[in-house]
Amino acid sequence: DTEVTQTPKHLVMGMTNKKSLKCEQHMGHRAMYWYKQKAKKPPELMFVYSYEKLSINESVPSRFSPECPNSSLLNLHLHALQPEDSALYLCASSLDRGGKLFFGSGTQLSVL
Amino acid sequence: DQQVKQNSPSLSVQEGRISILNCDYTNSMFDYFLWYKKYPAEGPTFLISISSIKDKNEDGRFTVFLNKSAKHLSLHIVPSQPGDSAVYFCAASVRRNTGKLIFGQGTTLQVKP
């Protein structure tokens, strides 16, 4: 199994909603990542988890809250988002921190 | 401050010919470089990587060249195929174990049959 699975594929939410993005991998990878990608822009790093501990937070607003319940799962909890947060949210994993990243297909998020 | 730059937004190549995608970087501390390919509505797919201790790495039709003195790397695809049409991202990291990968803006490659 060489896949990183993200759900949902699409999400539309209002500014007062609370939602969660989910990511799962079963490759035994110990590092997991959240990236954000706006249209026609490169992916931008948000968070890095290494061995289930948060190791990098790229000054992301607190309305984005990551969670790593175990080595296979990564969540991104969303609350009180703004329309400018609309983007493709990509999860990735690697064997260890800094290695080759495997990306999921992403969640296309629209905030109304 | 854009540390990884892909100055060509797009490239069009005939099937069977060579595709050359270029990438420049400014941070001399980068020591690990990767190329990713991305189709619409999909996540980036890893293609090939190179460590700063090497100047060339080859994998099938894909070869990456690194020129540290010029802070430049390139991806060569030979021969190009229509299925190679996608957006190609160059990425770099400082110290392989930091986990912070910085991406270039991407180059859209179109391979014409």
Taking an 8 Å cut-off on Cβ atoms, the answer to whether B34 and A100 are in contact is yes
Residue A98, pLDDT > 80, answer no
Give me the mean pLDDT over the A81-88 stretch: 95
Give pLDDT, residue B42: 84
Lowest-pLDDT choice from A11-20, B66-75, B97-106 = B97-106
Taking an 8 Å cut-off on Cβ atoms, the answer to whether A98 and B99 are in contact is yes
For chain B, first and last CA: distance in Å? 38
B1 touches chain A (CB under 8 A): no
* Amino acid occupying residue A76: L
Give the model's confidence band at A100: pLDDT under 50 very low, under 70 low, under 90 confident, else very high: confident
Residues of B in contact with A96 (CB under 8 A): 97
Strand duo A102-103 + B72-77: pairing: unpaired
Give me the mean pLDDT over the B61-88 stretch: 97
How far A41 CA lies from chain B's nearest CA (Å)?
Answer: 6
Residue A2, pLDDT > 70, answer no
Cβ distance B81 to B97 under 8 Å? no
How far B97 CA lies from chain A's nearest CA (Å)?
Answer: 4
Strand duo B10-14 + B107-112: pairing: parallel
Give pLDDT, residue A39: 86
Q: Which residue among A4, A40, A50 sits closest to B99, beta carbon to beta carbon?
A: A50
Give pLDDT, residue A1: 59
Q: Quick one: DSSP state of residue B70? A: T
Give pLDDT, residue B106: 95
Secondary structure (DSSP) of A31-89: EEEEEEE-TTS--EEEEEEETTEEEEE-S--TTEEEEEEETTEEEEEEES--GGG-EEE
A47 touches chain B (CB under 8 A): no
Give me the mean pLDDT over the B10-23 stretch: 98
| Mean pLDDT estimate for chain A | 93
CA dihedral for B6, B100, A93, A2, sign (positive or negative): positive
Taking an 8 Å cut-off on Cβ atoms, the answer to whether A98 and B96 are in contact is yes
Q: Residues 72-101, chain B: which have Cβ within 8 Å of A?
A: 89, 93, 95-101
Give the model's confidence band at A90: pLDDT under 50 very low, under 70 low, under 90 confident, else very high: very high
Interval B39-51: pLDDT, tens: 887 889 999 999 9
Give me the mean pLDDT over the B92-98 stretch: 75
Give the closest residue to A4 by CA, choosing from A104, A98, A78.
A104
Give pLDDT, residue B41: 77
Taking an 8 Å cut-off on Cβ atoms, the answer to whether A98 and B43 are in contact is no
DSSP β-bridge partners for residue B101:
B93
Q: Residues 69-108, chain A: which have Cβ within 8 Å of B?
A: 90, 92, 94, 96-106, 108
Interval A14-73: pLDDT, tens: 988 899 999 999 999 999 999 999 988 899 999 999 999 999 999 999 999 999 999 999
Share above pLDDT 90 across residues of chain B, in percent, rounded to a whole number: 83
